[in-house]
Amino acid sequence: MKASTFVYPWDVNGDPDAAARIAGLGVQQATLASAYHSTRALTPRHPRHRVVTAPHAAALYPTDAARWQGRRLRPYAAGDWAPGDAYGEAASALAGAGLDVHTWVVLAHNSRMGVEFPDTSVVNAYGDRYSWAPCIAQPDTRAYLVDLAVEAAVRPGAAGTELESLGWYGLPHLHAHDKTAGVALGDAGTYLMSLCFCPSCGDGYTQLGLDPDESAASVRRALEPVWRGEAPVEGWEDVEKLLGAELATATRAWRDSVARSLQTEAVLAVRAAAPEGFQILLHADPVSYRVGANVGVDPGHILSVADGVVVPCAAGPEPLIPFAEQGVDGAVLAANFTVVSGMGGRPATLVEDVTRAVGLGATEVRLYHAGLASDADLSLVVEAIGALR
């Protein structure tokens, strides 16, 4: 079974031992960030630094000036945390260590863009803007995301790509010093708080026969018992109870259609620009109304467009099942496991977890994250991969 680990360029660049150490884990592939959101990351083995701070989302390579000339929305250049062609430098080192290199591209997650161009952001039913969450219904935003997907995915030497956040982002963010856990929102409350009412989404609701202002008011009323802690908030059935089945279905129809069309457009654009055999995967959740880095998708649709999916399995491999049930020959179903103990990962049970995932349809494994994990965690990974072989 093919295994890959996620890596940042700053884990590799400036550390002459990094590429060999990553290859020594026993993985065959490195999934290397080429466009990434703001972050603060440990580098526990790097000879020059221990913490890297990326204050804004950025392309980690030199962008094509002609592609972006005259456009309002364009990728931001990285600062000193990933100077020059940081991606290319790291990719060359990893390939030199015998690893296949695939790009890791974060798309609809960009706080700086939301601050500088607030009209691009998701607007909730209360009028609050989510600066980190570009609204994927807006034409300019969609054009930016598709072109970024192409440019950041098809880097020289890359054999494939993994597209993260290619869909709706919403309230969940892991923002700096997040203070949003005071009320248990669950799936239902999170969905209601992630509904967008920007002008583009308002036009979409209107096309479905809904009044956007009345719909926003309905969402606010539906959330009142949630704020009081008096409403069930676990799943779609609770969305329908809170909002009413007709309005809930209409909002989901709009959002699903927007996400599906963007995913199709971006994947086809990447495929058109990529060499033959280039693999295109999406980080995905099999429940279409969910938001975040692992965007909600329709399993049948996404496997008809992309080569496969990377599925979060930290809480268990069950999310693989809806994808496996599609029975698509050759589809990549990559089970993604966190192996950083300090982030809730379980490297000590990796053999058991992977074995269970394979039983539910996994064809590949992803390990998050070679650069962030401790030496002890990585030793357990080496043992697990050896045992799985």
**pLDDT by residue, tens only, the chain of 389 residues:** 899 999 999 999 999 999 999 999 999 999 999 999 999 999 999 999 999 999 999 999 999 999 999 999 999 999 999 999 999 999 999 999 999 999 999 999 999 999 999 999 999 999 999 999 999 999 999 999 999 999 999 999 999 999 999 999 999 877 677 777 778 899 999 999 999 999 999 999 999 999 999 999 999 999 999 999 998 889 999 999 999 999 999 999 999 999 999 999 999 999 999 999 999 999 999 999 999 999 999 999 999 999 999 999 999 999 999 999 999 999 999 999 999 999 999 999 999 999 999 999 999 999 999 999 999 999 999 999 999 98
* Both tokens assigned to 297: 């998708």
CB 24 within 8 A of CB 42: no
Sketch the domain layout of the chain as residue ranges: 2-119+133-179+277-388
- How far apart, in whole angstroms, are the C-alpha atoms of residue 30 and residue 261? 29
Q: Which residues contact 135 (CB under 8 A, 6 or more apart)?
A: 120, 121, 122, 123, 141, 196, 198, 200, 201
CB 131 within 8 A of CB 121: yes
N-term to C-term CA, the chain:
8
Report, at the CATH architecture level, how domain 2-119+133-179+277-388 is classified: Alpha-Beta Barrel (3.20)
* Both tokens assigned to 186: 């669950």
Q: Which residue is listed with tokens 């920007």?
A: 198
The number of angstroms, rounded, from the C-alpha of 86 to the middle of its chain's C-alpha atoms is 21
Instruction: Report the predicted TM-score, pTM, of the whole model to 2 decimal places.
Output: 0.97
- How far apart, in whole angstroms, are the C-alpha atoms of residue 192 and residue 296? 15
- DSSP letter for 262, please: H
- How far apart, in whole angstroms, are the C-alpha atoms of residue 386 and residue 316? 22
CA distances, 53 to each of 43, 56, 271 (Å)? 11, 9, 33
